[in-house]
């Protein structure tokens, strides 16, 4: 299943991206849901999958976290089932991410899918990341406000909402319609009937996350061991005084780490890691190199597992938080830019024993799989 998205990307980036929200009617023409409500409910029963059930009743807002065992006690209205990173677990749904790859793989986070009954929603809220919300089956009423300063509150410990706001978008979305919402714009969506929604979210790391991640890397690799020095130490009137230039020297010691050659491999490792668990299932028994070569010769395409990030930065290629080294840049580019690799593309590399061994290792790590494995699952 493939999806064609009707967006003029240069115009969209210039006019809307991180500037203002917009509804795009029939962004996906003749839209067909890649996943059913029953399949989504099945994912929410799995331990590895992050899911939650948000409902509202006379007692207020309620939030329950998966995995769930059943949904028999649910009412006919006022609840939503939300499942994160569906693209990691459902190949057909993962296809919805492909049209957005033009905006960069490292910025893309995951595909959240929600099933809502009439009046189901999570209440008015705002996000700190860009999101494209695609309407699947059913209809949903969306309101989006301006990015004014709005007070947030928690009607439930696991739910953060905002106060009522004046809408600048007030629309009913039907299958194939899309609403784009930049960070900081309050919004709320309520289903008018049983409906599916697909939210393509974009990663936006905070300075706190970056600093914490880099600090962990520095400690793990025993970097930054150079100590403070002050060969030009000056006397001061009071022993308690810390001089401004001393503070600046300490600051420069920290900044020098960010400008060191170690920063690039760390940022590549950091950005290529997924926030959600991947569906990594190493083949059993493991492939032998001749078996990989035979599969390619037989015309079997190679698929990348959903959600796996393969990023290229400077002269490095990163896969799921690790540097992948190879003497063949074309081989690395093929891995990075193709989620499905055809036998024709692979065949020249399987003739190279070194690259064949490397490819076999990646398949045995569970990062790529031959297409028939999916059919047998």
Indicate whether 318 pLDDT > 80: yes
Structure tokens at 298: 């037989």
pLDDT tens digits, 122-139: 999 999 999 999 999 999
In a domain, 268, yes or no: no
- DSSP lists the bridge partners of residue 140 as 173, 191
190 and 49, same domain (yes or no):
yes
pLDDT at 377 over 60: no
Alpha carbon separation from 138 to 31, 192, 195, 301 (Å, rounded): 12, 8, 4, 35
Question: For 70-92, what is the mean pLDDT?
Answer: 95
Asked if residue 22 lies in contact with residue 16, where contact means CB atoms within 8 angstroms, the answer is: yes
Tokens describing residue 295: 């599969």
For position 376, what pLDDT does the model report?
Answer: 38
pLDDT for the residue numbered 149: 75
**Burial of residue 371, with CB atoms counted within 10 A of its CB: 0-12 exposed, 13-18 middle, 19 or more buried:** middle
Predicted confidence band at 372 (pLDDT cuts at 50, 70, 90)?
A: low
Predicted confidence (pLDDT) per residue in 245-292, tens digit: 999 999 999 999 999 999 999 999 999 999 999 999 999 999 999 999
Same domain, 314 and 242: no
- Domain boundary among the residues 202, 217, 236 is at 202
Q: Same structural domain for residues 141 and 29?
A: yes
| CB-side neighbour CA atoms (13 Å) of 314 | 12
Instruction: Inform me whether the pLDDT recorded for 88 exceeds 70.
Output: yes
pLDDT-derived band at 150 (thresholds 50, 70, 90) equals confident
109: closest CA among 280, 269, 275, 270? 275
Tell me, yes or no, whether 123 and 138 share the same domain.
Answer: yes
Q: Tell me what the pLDDT averaged over the chain comes to.
A: 94
Domain total in the chain = 3
CA atoms of 104 and 39, how far apart (whole Å): 29
**Average pLDDT over every residue of 22-43:** 97
Band (151; pLDDT cuts 50, 70, 90)? confident
In a domain, 280, yes or no: no
Do the domain assignments include residue 4? no
Q: Is 200 exposed, middle or buried (0-12, 13-18, 19+ CB in 10 A)?
A: buried
Helices 353-364, 329-337: crossing angle, 10 deg rounding = 30
Looking at the fold, whether 189 and 217 belong to one and the same domain comes out as no
Q: Which two tokens stand for residue 283?
A: 């083949």
To 5 degrees, how large is the angle CA 102–CA 104–CA 105? 115
Asked if 301 and 343 touch (Cβ cutoff 8 Å), the reply is: yes
Indicate if 38 and 172 belong to the same structural domain: yes
- Full DSSP string of 328-367: -HHHHHHHHH-SEE-HHHHHHHHTSHHHHHHHHHHHHTTS
Cβ-in-10-Å burial (0-12, 13-18, 19+) of 139 comes to middle
Domain membership of residue 254 as a residue range: 207-262
Structure tokens at 347: 């065949």
123/142 same-domain check: yes
Asked whether residue 35 falls in the same domain as residue 154, the answer is: yes
- CATH value at residue 345: 3.40.366.30
């Amino acid at each position: 299943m493939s999806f064609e998205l009707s967006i003029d990307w240069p115009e969209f980036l210039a006019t809307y991206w991180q500037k203002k929200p917009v509804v795009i009617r029939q962004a996906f023409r003749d839209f067909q849901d890649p996943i059913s409500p029953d399949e989504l409910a099945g994912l929410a029963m799995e331990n590895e999958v992050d899911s939650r059930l948000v409902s509202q009743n006379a007692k207020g807002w309620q939030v329950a976290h998966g995995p769930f065992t059943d949904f028999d006690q649910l009412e006919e209205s006022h609840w939503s089932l939300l499942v994160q990173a569906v693209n990691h677990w459902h190949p057909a749904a993962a296809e919805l991410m492909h049209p957005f790859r033009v905006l960069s793989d490292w910025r893309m986070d995951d595909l959240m899918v929600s099933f809502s009954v009439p009046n189901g929603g999570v209440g008015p809220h705002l996000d700190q990341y860009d999101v494209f919300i695609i309407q699947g089956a059913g209809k949903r009423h969306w309101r989006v406000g301006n990015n004014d300063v709005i007070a947030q509150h928690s009607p439930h410990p696991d739910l953060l909402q905002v106060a009522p706001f004046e809408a600048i978008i007030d629309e009913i979305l039907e299958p194939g319609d899309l609403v784009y919402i930049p960070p900081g714009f309050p919004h709320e969506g309520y289903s008018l009937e049983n409906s599916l929604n697909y939210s393509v979210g974009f990663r936006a790391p905070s300075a706190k996350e970056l600093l914490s991640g880099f600090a962990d890397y520095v400690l793990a690799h025993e970097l930054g061991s150079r100590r403070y020095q002050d060969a030009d130490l000056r006397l001061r009137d009071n022993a308690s005084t810390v001089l401004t230039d001393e503070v600046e020297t300490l600051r420069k010691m920290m900044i020098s780490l960010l400008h060191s050659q170690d920063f690039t491999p760390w940022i590549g490792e950091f950005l290529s890691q997924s926030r959600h668990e991947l569906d990594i299932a190493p083949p059993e028994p493991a492939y032998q190199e001749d078996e990989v070569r035979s599969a390619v010769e037989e015309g079997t395409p190679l698929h990348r597992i959903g959600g796996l990030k393969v990023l290229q930065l400077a002269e490095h290629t990163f896969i799921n938080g690790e540097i992948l080294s190879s003497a063949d840049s074309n081989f690395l580019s093929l891995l990075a830019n193709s989620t499905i690799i055809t036998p024709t593309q692979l065949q020249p590399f399987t003739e190279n024993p070194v690259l064949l061994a490397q490819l076999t290792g990646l398949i045995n790590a569970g990062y790529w799989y031959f297409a028939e494995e999916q059919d047998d699952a």
